[in-house]
Amino acid sequence: MKKRDFLSLYDFSTKELNDILDLATNIKKRPNVYKSALAGKTIALIFEKPSLRTKATFEVGIMQMGGNVIYFSPNEFQLGRREAVSDVAKNLERWVDGIVCRTFGHNIIETLARNCSKPVINALTDLSHPCQGLADYFTIREHKHKLKGLKLAYVGDGNNVCHSLIYGAAKFGVEINIATPRGYEPKVEVLKNAYADAVSNGVNIELTDDPIAAVNNVDVVYTDVWTSMGQEAETAKRRQIFSPYQVNTRLMAFAKKDAVFMHCLPAHRGEEVTDEVIDSEQSIVFDQAENRLHVQKAILLYIFGIKKK
């Protein structure tokens, strides 16, 4: 089988992504069926950025399926600085069966994948967070029992999570409204890439600087931190610019009565979201966190060609 990487939701067809979601559903319902699915395989985890959910769910998921993990912390790897990314790839491919990498520039993970004969999974770059995005759509489908035709509002910074939500919306036929301050919109290249899929699935990608307009009558309200890793010097400036974009009970009231609230975590409570919202019955943030485990298991099995058990 030709090597398959998981670098962006854009790289996969709607059918392929639905197949992964279906596999994740089966894994969640019958985890013991897959307890030896990765037996004999060793996965390297390269993390150049801190992590709770991504690290824990990949390690637990691999071990629950009988695989082995080698973890490299931010202090151990400086991809492209201590050693050329291509050299890292050509070394690791001799020892491990796959690589999960959390890094900075998206070009780093593309170079890693291009030079490695083993599958590479993007565990987050500055451009994209596909594991999070796919787990999010899995969670939405779980709560709303469908994806196509739903309406999602993303309020906040047009960051890597926003980019993956855009790609997923275009693939799954979800209407997406994105409210950001001017100058903090998602990247034009992402919007251009997603356009054809959105047209094919009959949905729109709407950009606005008005959070109320974005949230009006939607099924899902999503936000993320205003300052991502690597942007700490901008924290004070961003707090001021993004303050009108806080998701609070007033903003949630414009969504549908049965709308759910989502956040990829970690949350800066009192900034992008209030306690009243994140701790409310509408909040499904910890379902999202749990589902990272099941979806990432499915991603691993899918790229290894282990689709059914």
**CATH number of 54's domain:** 3.40.50.1370
pLDDT at position 276, please?
98
Short-list 160, 152, 91, 85, CA closest to 130 = 160
* Nearest of 136, 191, 149, 164 to residue 7 by alpha carbon: 164
Same domain, 19 and 160: no
Same domain assignment for residues 258 and 185: yes
* Residue 81, pLDDT score: 76
Give 10-residue mean pLDDT values along the chain (309 residues): 90 97 98 96 95 97 98 81 90 97 96 97 97 98 98 98 98 98 97 97 97 98 90 89 98 98 97 98 98 98 83
Domain count, the chain: 2
In a domain, 50, yes or no: yes
Same domain, yes or no: 134 and 97: no
On whether both 297 and 279 belong to a single domain, the answer is no
Cβ-based neighbours of 32, under 8 Å, separated by 6 or more: none
pLDDT at 309: 52
- Residues 199 and 263 reside in one and the same domain: yes
pLDDT at 79: 80
Q: Are residues 95 and 146 in the same domain?
A: no
Break the chain down into helix, strand, coil percent, rounded to 5.
45, 15, 40
- 4 part of a folded domain: no
Name the pTM for this structure: 0.96
What are the residue numbers of the active site? 102, 129, 132, 224, 264, 292
158 and 276 co-located in one domain: yes
Report whether 216 contacts 254 (CB < 8 A): yes
What's residue 1's pLDDT?
A: 56
Distance CA 186, CA 72 (A): 30
For 58, the enclosing helix (H) or strand (E) is helix 53-64
Domain range holding 192? 130-285
Query: Are the C-beta atoms of residues 247 and 179 closer than 8 Å to each other?
Result: no
On whether both 85 and 149 belong to a single domain, the answer is no
Q: Do 78 and 109 have their domain in common?
A: yes
pLDDT at res. 173: 98
